Amino acid sequence: MTTATMDTLEYAADMADRPRALIMTAAGINCDHELAEAFALAGATPEFIHLTTLMSTPDLIDQFDLVGLPGGFSYGDAIAAGRIAAALVSSSLIDRLRAAIDRGVPMIAPCNGFQIAVQAGLLPGPRAGAGARTEAALLENDCGRFIDRWVRVEYPASRCVWTQGITADDEAMLLPVAHGEGRFYGETDLLKWLWSESCVAVQYQSDDDPNGSVDHIAGICDHSGLVLGLMPHPERYLHWTQHPFWTRIKPRSESTPGLQMFQSAVTHVLKMRAGTQA
């Protein structure tokens, strides 16, 4: 396995008991370093592995406690956003990823990662009665173009381990989006299921939906609650100086909502580990 070094940030890789986070890179993936930073700040040790390496040795996935599918433009988003990477993942990695979910590995898939996860069948994941049919899609934004801005979001009560207990005041309840194909679409049955099973993890506030998603859905989780896919980028909201108007809000000491997500997942891993040991 060859892993790229991350920028110039040094991580305490020697801390052997830190959970290990796999960050899948691929041609055109470009939010890998900030995702690694998020895992590192939350207490995990991130490692990059390229999709080509994973395809030849899918067992590598078995070594990890957390998985991140970063954003970007995998394979140039040729055909549709995430399409080719999703085809490659579903043809050779999906079994190992499913096994990881069974082991209790939390996974996060922001933006292009979400687009890949939905088309590869990781999200919304298996549900009774649906068979192998794809029922969701992330379509071109209703404005017809790429958009980068911060949006106001909500975290409905859900089973998602990533979004449990996010606390922030109104001014901080934001996330950045940057995508051209983020309009969530789900067939009626799926939507009913997502709501009834508490799998809608993130919503745009109704007057701040950047792409026209059905039910203003910004992110969903699978039935295990471990796999979160979302169009916004929590990994771009790790420091208060990333807040879009931090120069006019009071300085804060608590973690940003973006970082809280990663901390929740790492805590979950550590709790599970403690539970197994006990």
Partner 1 sequence: MTVHRIEVRPSLHAGDPAGQSALEAIHAMPGGQQLRGIATAAVYLIEADLDVKQVEHIGHTLLAHPVSDELVIGASPIRSTSVIEVHPLPGVMDPDADSIEAAIERLLGIEVQVRTGRRYDLDGVDATVGRELASKCLANPLIHDVHIGPAHPESFPIGHAHDMSSNEVPLCDLKDDALLRLSREGHLFLSLDEMHALQDHFRALGREPRDIELETLAQTWSEHCVHKTLKATVDYAGELPGGGIPSASMIEDGTLRIPNLLKCTVAAATHQLMEEGLDQWCLSVFVDNAGIVGFDEDTAVCFKVETHNHPSALEPYGGAATGIGGCIRDVIGTGLAARPIAATDVFCVGSQTMEHIPDGCLHPRRILHRVVEGVRDYGNRMGIPTLDGTVWFDNRYVGNPLVFCGCVGVMPRDLVSGAPRAGDRIIAMGGRTGRDGVHGATFSSAELTDTHADEFSHAVQIGNAITEKKVLDAIMAARDHASGCLFTAITDCGAGGFSSAVGEMGEELGAVVNLEQAPLKYTGLTPTEIWISEAQERMVLAVSADRLEALASICEEHEVEWCDLGEFGTPQRELILRYGGSELGRLSMQFMHEGLPDRVRQASWNPTDVEVPAEVCESDLSQMLHALMSHPNIASKRSIIRQYDHEVQGRTMIKPLVGPDGEGPSDAAVITPVRGSTRGLAIGSGLATGLAADPYDMVLAAIDECVRNLVCVGADPEQIAILDNYCWPGCEDEERMGELVRASAACLHGGLAYRTPFISGKDSLNNQFTTEAGETIRIPPTMLISGFGIVSDVRQCVTMDAKAPDNLLVLVGETTDCIGGSHLLLMSQAAPGSRMLPRTDLKAGPANARVVAGLIAEGLVRSAHDPSEGGVLVAAAEMACAGGLGVALDPQAVQGNLDSLSVACFAETPSRYLLEVTESNLKHIIDRLGETPCSVIGRFTADPVMTAGDRLDLQIETLQQAWLTGMECS
CB nearer to partner 1: pick between 30 and 267: 30
Interaction of residue 144 with partner 1, rule CB under 8 A: yes
**Residue 158 structure tokens:** 């859900």
Span of 51-59, 94-102, 161-169, 221-229 interacting with partner 1 by CB under 8 A: 51-59
| Shortest distance, position 179 Cβ to partner 1, whole Å | 9
| Shortest distance, position 10 Cβ to partner 1, whole Å | 8
* # residues near partner 1 by CB under 8 A: 67
Burial of 137 (0-12, 13-18, 19+ CB in 10 A): middle
Alpha-carbon gap, residue 14 to 16, rounded angstroms: 5
Interaction of residue 5 with partner 1, rule CB under 8 A: yes
| Shortest distance, position 146 Cβ to partner 1, whole Å | 5
Q: Which of 12, 17, 128, 248 binds partner 1 (CB under 8 A)?
A: 248
CB nearer to partner 1: pick between 14 and 145: 145
CB atoms within 10 A of CB 172: 18
Interaction of residue 52 with partner 1, rule CB under 8 A: yes
Interaction of residue 157 with partner 1, rule CB under 8 A: no
Contact (CB, 8 A) for 151 and 202: no
Question: Residue 71 corresponds to which amino acid?
Answer: G
**Residue 128 structure tokens:** 């009774």
Point out the residues that are catalytic: 111, 233, 235
Span of 58-66, 75-83, 152-160, 222-230 interacting with partner 1 by CB under 8 A: 75-83
Q: Which of 18, 19, 24, 34 binds partner 1 (CB under 8 A)?
A: 34
Question: Considering all CA atoms of the chain, what is the largest pairwise distance in Å, rounded to the nearest integer?
Answer: 53
Residue 148 has phi, psi (to 5 degrees) of -120, 115
**Could you tell me which of 134, 155, 267, 162 has the C-alpha nearest to residue 224?**
162
| Shortest distance, position 83 Cβ to partner 1, whole Å | 7
Match 């088309």 to its residue by tokens. Answer: 119
Alpha-carbon gap, residue 141 to 147, rounded angstroms: 8
